[in-house]
Structure 1
Amino acid sequence: MKKMNFLYVLSFLFLFIGCSPKQAKKEISNSKYCANELSLLSVSDSLKKIKIDYSLEEEPLLNSIAKKIDTELCLKTIHFGVILANEDVANMYVQRECDKNIVSCYNRGTETYILLNKNGHLLMKDGVITIDSVKYWMRKNFSSKDDDHYKRVSIRWDTKTPKDSIEKTFTNVMNGYLLTYEDLSQQLFSKKVCDLETSQVNILKKKLPFKLRLQFGEQFLTPPPPPIDVIEE
Structure 2
Amino acid sequence: MKSKILRELSAKGMEILSEYEARNVLQEYGIPCPKEVMVSYQSGKKGEEYLSEMKKRDGWPGYPSFFKVISRDIKSATEANAIRRATSDVEAASSIDAIISNAKRYREDVNIEGILASEDVSTHETREMFIGSTVNEQFGHVISLGFGGVYVEVYKDVEFRVVPIKEPDVYSMIEHLRGRELLGAFRRIRPVDMKLLVDTVLKVSKMVEENPEIVELDINPLIVGPDRAVAVDALIRIQGK
What is the TM-score with the length of structure 1 in the denominator? 0.30
More helix per residue: 1 or 2? 1
What is the TM-score with the length of structure 2 in the denominator? 0.29
Query: Which is greater in Rg?
Result: 1
